[in-house]
Amino acid sequence: MMYPWLRDVTQKITNQFLSKRLHHGLLIEARAGMGKFELTRDLSQVLLCQTPNIEACGQCKSCHLFKHGNHPDYFQISDLDANSIGVDQIRALVNKSQHKSQLGGNLVFVVNQSYKMTESAANALLKTLEEPFPHSYIILTTESVSQLLPTLISRCQLYKIKSPTLPELLPWLNEQKIEPTQFDVIFEDMGQAPLTALAHYSTDYLLKRAEYLSQFKALLSGKVSTAEFSKTINEEDIAFYYIWLMQALNKWMKVKSQGVDLQIPRQDQRYKIMDMYQAVLTSQRQSHYNGVNKKLNYQQLCHKISHSQTSGV
Ligand SMILES: [Zn+2]
């Protein structure tokens, strides 16, 4: 079933295709966890279908081959774990695009995570985008076009897909018997990427989140020492700790601006929430640097926060 937030872009591209106005180079931009892989798969089936209508017919020889994963005119580069897409992979694709399709229809090439292309790989693709072979379509996906060469972007038709809002997701959540209020917390944590949020919904994510924040509040109020707090660190979750902290601090800031109780003890307000937020953000950035000991980096943040809390009280 098609994800509801992908319906508009799918219809747009399909209509352009059916009215023979579809550009041969498509560039799809959406953040991770939006279903780009499923989107390019569905679109490819439409472009290859022998009797396409609003969607692929699902009955023809092409659709049949496609569904079984062995369509001879469909090629995709989508090794999600690979660090880069090399020039050899793109040359192989370009080479195939210069031959006739085996089924007599279109040729479809998909490069998922196209931002992983090395510069020479991107350059190898440029020429094909400039002088496309008839009946061939190239679909590129990326999380952000800022990661791509401008020359590459300018040779494609760009489709930007926005994250849906929670109200827009309600029917979809209902169908899957998902509780919207709980989902919303994860959805916001995950930058409104529905599929990433969904993946966490079925785990003990919310429980871990609540436990963490309650421990953090205890650290702030001095009920727990930095050393004790450090014992609860699970290295695999450090990336989440930053998200949870920033979301919580954001919420506290909003509560404060509304003049409501801060939910953290008054004597701890000395270290301002804004400063704390800055410290968390800086620490999060540092955690992405090469060779950084993530745990140590995070412990330093905790020390900094709790030290600022207690000094001068
Ligand atoms: Zn078909």
Amino acid 256: pLDDT: 62
**Ligand 1 centre from 42 Cα, in Å?**
11
- Residue 142 sits in a domain whose CATH number is 3.40.50.300
Domain extent at residue 216? 205-310
How close is the Cα of 61 to the center of ligand 1, in Å?
7
Q: What spacing in Å lies between the alpha carbon of 18 and ligand 1's midpoint?
A: 13
User: Is residue 13 scored above 90 in pLDDT?
Assistant: yes
The 136-142 sheet, strands edge to edge: 74-77, 107-111, 136-142, 25-29, 157-160
Task: Report pLDDT digits (tens) over 123-134.
Answer: 999 988 988 778
Domain shared by 8 and 152, yes or no: yes
Last residue of a domain, one of 201, 225, 260: 201
- Higher-pLDDT residue of 128 and 187 is 187
- The per-residue pLDDT for 262 is 47
Cα 81 to middle of ligand 1, angstroms: 31
Asked whether the predicted pLDDT for residue 313 surpasses 50, the reply is no
Indicate if 21 and 137 belong to the same structural domain.
yes
Q: What is the mean pLDDT of residues 302-309?
A: 78
- Judged by average pLDDT, the poorest of 194-198, 256-260, 291-295, 308-312 is 308-312
The pocket of ion ligand 1, defined by CB under 5 A, consists of 49, 56-57, 60, 63
Q: How confident is the model at residue 274 (pLDDT cuts 50, 70, 90)?
A: confident
Q: Read off the pTM.
A: 0.84
pLDDT, average across residues 268-294: 85
Of the residues 149, 182, 201, which one is the last residue of a structural domain? Answer: 201
- Lowest mean pLDDT across 182-186, 253-257, 273-277: 253-257
Instruction: Tell me, in angstroms, the distance from the centre of ligand 1 to residue 45's CA.
Output: 7
**DSSP letters for 45-107:** HHHH-SS-SSS--S-SHHHHHHHTT--TTEEEE--TT-S-B-HHHHHHHHHHHTS--SSSS-E
Q: What is the mean pLDDT of the chain?
A: 89
142: left (phi over 0), alpha (psi -120 to 50) or beta: beta
Phi, psi dihedrals of residue 76, rounded to the nearest 5°: -140, 145
The structural domain count of the chain equals: 3
Alpha-carbon dihedral of residues 201, 207, 208, 209, nearest 10 degrees? 80
CA 65 to ligand 1 centroid distance, Å = 10
Report CA(224)–ligand 1 centroid distance (Å).
Answer: 63
Closest CA to 237 of 252, 216, 217, 220: 216
Interval 211-238 mean pLDDT: 89
Q: Residue with structure tokens 């943040």?
A: 301
pLDDT above 90 for 195: yes
Query: Do 100 and 177 have their domain in common?
Result: no
User: What's the 124 CA to ligand 1 centre distance in angstroms?
Assistant: 32
260 confidence band (pLDDT: 50, 70, 90): very low
- Shared domain for 10 and 43, answered yes or no, is yes
In this structure, are residues 161 and 29 in contact, taking their beta carbons and an 8 Å threshold?
yes
Q: Are residues 150 and 10 in the same domain?
A: yes
Say if residues 250 and 277 touch (Cβ distance below 8 Å): yes
Q: Are residues 174 and 255 in the same domain?
A: no
Task: Provide the 10 A C-beta neighbour count for residue 247.
Answer: 15
233-259 pLDDT tens trace: 999 999 999 999 999 988 887 766 555
The pLDDT score that the predictor gives to residue 266 is 55
CA of 59 to the centre of ligand 1 (A): 5
> Residues 17, 77: one domain?
yes
Q: For residue 115, give the nearest of 73, 94, 143 by alpha carbon.
A: 143
Poorest-pLDDT segment among 27-36, 221-230, 253-262: 253-262
**Last residue of one domain, picked from the residues 201, 226, 260:** 201
- Regarding whether 229 and 107 lie in a shared domain, the answer is no
Give the distance (Å) from ligand 1 centre to CA of residue 4. Answer: 22
Do 107 and 234 reside in the same domain of the chain?
no
- 222 contacts 310 by C-beta, under 8 angstroms: yes
pLDDT in the model for residue 290: 87
Per-residue confidence band for 111, with pLDDT thresholds at 50, 70 and 90:
very high
| 252 Rama sector, left if φ>0, alpha if ψ -120 to 50, beta otherwise | alpha
Residues 73, 143, single domain; the answer is yes
Structure tokens at 123: 């350059």
Backbone angles phi, psi at 227, to 5 degrees: -65, -45
Q: Tell me: the pLDDT tens digits for 85-109?
A: 999 999 999 988 888 899 999 999 9
Query: What confidence tens digit (pLDDT) does each residue in 40-68 have?
Result: 999 999 999 999 988 999 999 999 999 99
Q: How far, in Å, from the CA of 64 to the mean position of ligand 1? A: 7
| Residue 164 CA, ligand 1 centroid: distance in Å | 30
What percentage of the chain has pLDDT greater than the value 90? 71
Distance from Cα 79 to the centre of ligand 1, integer Å: 26
pLDDT at 261: 47
Closest CA to 233 of 293, 307, 308: 293
